[in-house]
Amino acid sequence: MSEQSEPRPEDADSLTLLLVAEDPLSARRIREMLERREGEGSRFSITSVPRVEDALVRLQHGGFDVMLLDHSVDEAHGLDSLQRARVAARAVPVVVLTYQRDEDFALEAVRTGAQDYLAKGEVTPALLARTLLHAVERHRMMRELTQAQQRQHFLASHDALTKLPNRYSFLASLRGLLAEAERRREEVAVLFFDLDGFKRINDSLGHAAGDELLGDVAGRLRRLIGKRDLVARLGGDEFVAALPAVRDPQRPLELAETIRAAIEKPYYLNGLECWVSTSIGISRHPRDGRDADALIRCADAAMYQAKGAGKNQIREFDEQMNESAQERFDLVNGLRDAIHSGLLALMFQPQVDIQREELVAAETLVRWHHPTRGAISPTEFIPVAEETGLMVPLGEWVLRTACATAASWRAVPGARVAVNISGRQLEQPDFSSRVQRILEETGLPRERLEIELTESLAASDGALAVLERLRELGIRTAIDDFGTGYSSLTRLRRLPVDTLKIDRSFVHGVSLNDPDAVILESMIRIASGLGLEVVAEGVETLEEMDALRALGCTLMQGYLFSKPLPKIDFEAEVGREDAEWRMPLDRPEAWLPLGERAAEPEPGPDDEGNLPAVRNLGSRPRHG
Ligand code: C2E
Ligand code: CA
Ligand code: CA
């Protein structure tokens, strides 16, 4: 056995060859053939060993481009050694040298993974070199192809953002896992996670921060989920895990609790400390279902219960939840129909200037008159619309109908109409052109439309450009629910908005000698200082009204003046000489006690689904 040169993989022009030849004569001949080819392309640096075993040891250290196996080696166990060489062949290509008539062996060699073979009697130096070079090249191409296929498979089965398996590969793995569990009569638990407050982060810090957060959440999940367990991102802020072979029924709950606690720890995004939490639902095979879809559905329903119970909680599935899952399903389908079959209606709630005793605007609030459930609150169905892609058509219908209605107001021809806009609408690249088109179609003068965006939405990354564009178009904008979001006043100052609507939680219960009124006072002062109009929302009592007026806020909206009214009542009401906001406000004794007013239900449709023609606001004594 000879060993004259070490592999030199770093030499680009030189190929490192591992020669396996038991017969030293044969080894020398091969060496001579390859080394004598001066000036003919690639050179070979050759290491030769007598047996396949030695070769395998060598290969473990790497550094070889190709292996040449002289078949006189280990004659008795020819194929056996070849099998072992095959292990090596994954790392380097193998070329086999056979005796002239041993075609069968040669073919078998190729079948077991060798790149090529040469018959000894026919070998010339050029042919040998070429065969080795081609083997190396083919092997390299095969490897690249395999890697590309693996990459493609990874991309198709994983979520690009978090690198976790995606919905499809999770379903496939879960099915496999369930089949195994059925065979072994084992239990499987499925955990469904949905982040609480993710939308708020996305809206206020931007999508890049949202993506980073999802990556962090995925990292925490991956760390806590066991090696045999599955974890995947279903999409959006939804994740799912499956635990096979659950022996201790407490384990899924304990793991869920560990994860819940880990997710609520702070995140650092854009140098800011942020928080989210997660609502978790658990379902179990075989108790809640035997197939993957059923288990995910049950865990999802349990997750919804956890959300409903105040978020950041864990719930196990139980039968009753199936009903609420069904209800939600019906809600989505019903809403889809409602948009098309005219079951949605708009209400208008006056915004009044108490100084000048006049109506300045009306906010549009959408209502859904469900055929069996009665009136459904927008706080219930707007989030469903946002999650299901129905928000854009719904929002567009609201906007168009509101503009058309306001364009037809005779009693208050100059009053503005305020329309709530969802983040889903704002995300549309052509949102402002759509608004512009609706104004043209309905003939409403642009200055009479006001777009309301919630505070966190207005402070989001994408909103600034839209707000600027709306301002260019001469359309007013308002920040809704002000005080409930995260935006700083400095950030607000840069936003091109016209109105600030103070959230009703700040208004509720405020009175002239209330120490909490300082917050309200500074909000009003700062907003006025920024040149913004300030509207107080949810004004219900005379005390609140007086306090607001004393603090310098004279634009108000709330039950004290009027509940939201159907279109037809609104027009009747605003046309009246003695409309309630025109009453001298210094005569509160003319007003009924609040209790009666609050108990008054909002008008709904009659048996045929028609909205009442005239709503009786006159249930309390009119002044006059
Ligand atoms: P919001 O924009 O803050 O609307 C004001 C809500 O406060 C309305 O509830 C209104 O009926 C209620 N409200 C008015 N005055 C008073 C008062 O004196 N006291 C109390 N306690 N509440 C008062 P509503 O109509 O149930 O709407 C709830 C939310 O649903 C709205 O909050 C808004 O965020 C959303 N929404 C309603 N219509 C639409 C719409 O067309 N599009 C979008 N995107 N969201 C809408
Ligand atoms: Ca609003
Ligand atoms: Ca509001």
Domains defined for the chain, CATH in brackets: 14-155 (3.40.50.2300), 167-318 (3.30.70.270), 348-575 (3.20.20.450)
Ligand 1 atom closest to the Cα of residue 378 is 30
Range of weakest confidence among 26-30, 75-79, 265-269: 75-79
CA of 537 to the centre of ligand 3 (A): 6
Kindly state the percentage of the chain with pLDDT values over 90. Answer: 46
Tell me the range of 44-48, 249-253, 449-453 where mean pLDDT is highest: 449-453
pLDDT classification of 488: cutoffs 50, 70, 90: low
Ligand that comes closest to the CA of residue 482: 3
Q: Which of 368, 375, 371 is nearest to 344 (CA)?
A: 368
d(CA 75, CA 52): 11
> Among the atoms of ligand 1, which is closest to the Cα of residue 425?
44
| Closest approach atom of ligand 1 to CA 402 | 41
DSSP string across 131-160 = HHHHHHHHHHHHHHHHHHHHHHHHHHHB-T
User: What residue owns the CA closest to ligand 1's atom 45?
Assistant: 420
Instruction: Convert the pLDDT of each residue in 419-438 to its tens digit.
Output: 999 999 998 989 999 999 99
The whole-number pLDDT of residue 400 equals: 96
- Which residue type does 49 have? V
CA distance 337 to 124: 80
pLDDT tens-digit readout, 254-305: 999 999 999 999 999 888 888 899 999 999 999 999 999 999 999 999 999 8
Q: Which atom of ligand 1 is nearest to the CA of 421?
A: 44
Within 6 A (CB) of ligand 1 lie 349, 364-366, 377-379, 382, 395, 398, 420-422, 480-481, 504, 538-540, 558-559, 564
If you take atom 27 of ligand 1, which residue's CA is the nearest one?
Answer: 378
Centre of ligand 1 from the C-alpha of residue 64, in Å? 73
Q: Please give the distance, rounded to the nearest whole angstrom, from the Cα atom of residue 482 to the centre of ligand 3.
A: 8
Q: Give dist(CA 618, CA 603) in Å, integer.
A: 14
Instruction: Work out whether strand 374-376 and strand 14-20 pair parallel, antiparallel, or are unpaired.
Output: unpaired
Q: Is the peptide bond before 286 cis (omega within 30 degrees of 0)?
A: yes
Give residue 78's pLDDT band: very low, low, confident or very high (50, 70, 90): low
Of 595 and 102, more confident: 102
* Residues 136-140, mean pLDDT to the nearest whole number: 88
- Characterize 264-282 residue by residue with b for buried, 16 or more Cβ atoms within 10 angstroms of its Cβ, and e for exposed: eeebebeeeebebbbbbbb
Cα of 500 vs centre of ligand 1, distance in Å, is 15
pLDDT of residue 313 exceeding 50? yes
By most ligand atoms within 8 Å of CB, the mutation choice from 363, 368, 420 for ligand 1 is: 420
Q: What does the mean pLDDT of the chain come to?
A: 84
Which residue's alpha carbon is nearest to atom 46 within ligand 1?
420
Sign of CA dihedral 156, 162, 166, 169: positive
The ligand whose atoms approach the alpha carbon of 350 most closely is 1
Residue nearest to atom 41 of ligand 1 (CA): 366
Helix or strand run (H / E) with residue 476: strand 476-482
Q: How far apart are CA 35 and CA 24, in angstroms?
A: 16
Q: What's the pLDDT band for 605 if we cut at 50, 70, 90?
A: very low
How far, in Å, is the centroid of ligand 3 from the Cα of 34?
Answer: 85
Residues with CB under 5 A from ligand 2 (ion): 420, 452, 480
Quick check: helix, strand or coil at residue 434? helix
- Classify the phi-psi angles of 365: left when phi > 0, otherwise alpha if psi is within -120 to 50, otherwise beta: beta
Q: How far is the CA of 365 from the centre of ligand 1 (A)?
A: 6
Residue 2: per-residue pLDDT: 42
Atom of ligand 1 at shortest range from CA of 366: 38
Query: Under a CB-based contact definition with an 8 Å cutoff, are residues 350 and 296 in contact?
Result: no
**What is the per-residue DSSP string for 365-416?**
EEEEEETTTEEE-HHHHHHHHHHHT-HHHHHHHHHHHHHHHHHT-SSSTT-E
Is residue 229 over pLDDT 50? Answer: yes
Compute the distance between CA of residue 523 and CA of residue 518 in angstroms, rounded to an integer. 8
